[in-house]
Structure 1
Amino acid sequence: MSGTARTKVLLVDAHPISLTGLRTILDGCPDLHVVGVAQDGGAAAARYRELRPDVVIVNTHSSAAEAVDSVGSLARSHPPLPAPNVLVLLNNVDAAAAEILQAGVKGLLSSSSSSQELAAAVRLMATGRSLLIPTARAGSGDSLLEQLTDREIEVFRLLTRGFSNAEISTELTLSQSTVKFHIQKLMEKLGLRNRVHAVIFAYEKNIIHASS
């Protein structure tokens, strides 16, 4: 990615082993770069002021309180800097979502998410958008896909492999307006907000794999 700026990430994790794992995953992506690490919120605030990362990942291992403390320290650190884009990794997202969101977090992801899901989440967060991915969804992947027509499934599989609307149009011999309509309908049926959420959903449900 010569000539292209990489997304800068600050990692906050009190556990050295998982910290090393996260760093390895993110630095293995050509468009992402871990610029610094911290073991707690206080250290993270200082590193945030120093490094100006695009995304701060707070990896918690027990309770939401840990994340809330870290986010509070970061929030107090930013004037006159922009508020940080914080992505919290949590063991039980569903149980702690309300508490985390009240702290001002815009991104939640399960600690059990795959490396592909984590990288996709960081890319989305870097744009300033929100990402809320619970650990459980209403219904299994199979039951949700049963809501789709055969054509919508074809579009969905290409979309989650990174095809643009124009490329899907060419691949399936459809007009781009028809492709756009199918994408809108399948997103509504699956309860997805955008393409990044669609990719994460597909990985979660083993609909696509890293080699797809």
Structure 2
Amino acid sequence: MTIKVVVVDDAQMVRVGLRMIVETEPELTVVGEAADGVEAVSVIRRLRPDVALVDIAMPRQDGLATTRAVLAAPGNPTRVIVLTTFDTDENLYQALRSGASGFLLKVSSPEHLITAIRVVAAGEALLDPAVTTRVISAFATRPAPQPPPEIADLTPREEQVLRLVARGLSNAEIAAELSVGEATVKTHVARVLMKLGLRDRVQAVVYAYETGLVRAGST
């Protein structure tokens, strides 16, 4: 099955480079491009790609507002990967809250980008390891709030899995850490998301740090 991609960046050379990387894989194809956020919303709604690669800093409308507009459209099939340098923690925080399913630094390798597109197109979410580190740093100095009451709905193993997700571990890494099968981990993650009313593991990471369930340096 072909994965359709739209590339959104105000720099033409960046768009050309991203197109070249994406189309090195036979099952991936770039079906459209946009040079700013307003154009991007129109292009994405018209072409309905599986994945949109969206830069944060763009004219007319930034990538965060663009992401929110795309995801708010009724029946939207597109999942968004935000590409950024994350120059400020505020950008990071707002990006994580924008609803995107993937977050990659622009210095990520082409291989990592391809993996991210496949993961997000399959309905999963992906955080660049460096992004997870920034999440930890952003919440490290904040006072620890009281964990919300819905945490009590989690089993001890589900809470353990949530903590490992918040540390940036993949399902395979969590499986190795807990000495269980990867399918078991996927089931635990799905139950955590359902019980806490979260869309994906990106929201789970933010939730874990915002609620004080996980603190910098905790295990």
Q: TM-score, normalised by structure 2?
A: 0.56
1:117 aligns with 2:112: yes
1:195–1:51 Cα change, 3 Å: farther
Match among 160, 171, 182 for residue 194 of structure 1: 171
1:109–1:10 Cα change, 3 Å: same
Stretches of structure 1 lacking an aligned partner (at least 5 in a row): 139-183, 198-212
CA distance in 1, matches of 2:132, 2:48: 35
Specify the code of the residue in structure 2 equivalent to 1:89.
L
What residue in structure 1 maps to residue 66 of structure 2?
A: 70
Stretches of structure 2 lacking an aligned partner (at least 5 in a row): 134-160, 175-219
1:115–1:126 Cα change, 3 Å: same
Post-superposition shift, 1:101? 1.7
Q: Identity rate of aligned residues, in percent?
A: 32
Q: Deviations over 1:44-98 (max 9, x none)?
A: 1211122110001102358xx822122133234x22x225310001112782322
1:135 aligns with 2:130: yes
Root-mean-square deviation (CA, aligned residues, Å) is 3.0
- Partner of 2:169, secondary structure, is coil
What residue in structure 2 maps to residue 100 of structure 1?
A: 95
1:89 aligns with 2:113: no
Contact kept in structure 2, 1:93 and 1:135, CA below 8 Å: no
CA distance in 2, matches of 1:196, 1:24: 31
1:7 aligns with 2:3: yes
Specify the code of the residue in structure 1 equivalent to 2:5.
V
Which of 1 and 2 has greater Rg?
Answer: 1
- Partner of 1:135, secondary structure, is helix
Q: Is 129-138 or 32-41 further displaced after alignment? A: 129-138
1:195–1:67 Cα change, 3 Å: farther
What residue in structure 1 maps to residue 27 of structure 2?
A: 31
Figure out how many residues of one structure are paired with residues of the other and give that number.
Answer: 142
Contact kept in structure 1, 2:3 and 2:29, CA below 8 Å: yes
CA distance in 2, matches of 1:14, 1:105: 19
Q: Deviations over 1:158-204 (max 9, x none)?
A: xxxxxxxxxxxxxxxxxxxxxxxxxx9xx99x85213599xxxxxxx
Which segments of structure 1 move beyond 6 Å, counting only runs of 4 or more?
Answer: none
Contact kept in structure 1, 2:34 and 2:40, CA below 8 Å: yes
Specify the code of the residue in structure 2 equivalent to 1:193.
S
Contact kept in structure 1, 2:51 and 2:78, CA below 8 Å: yes
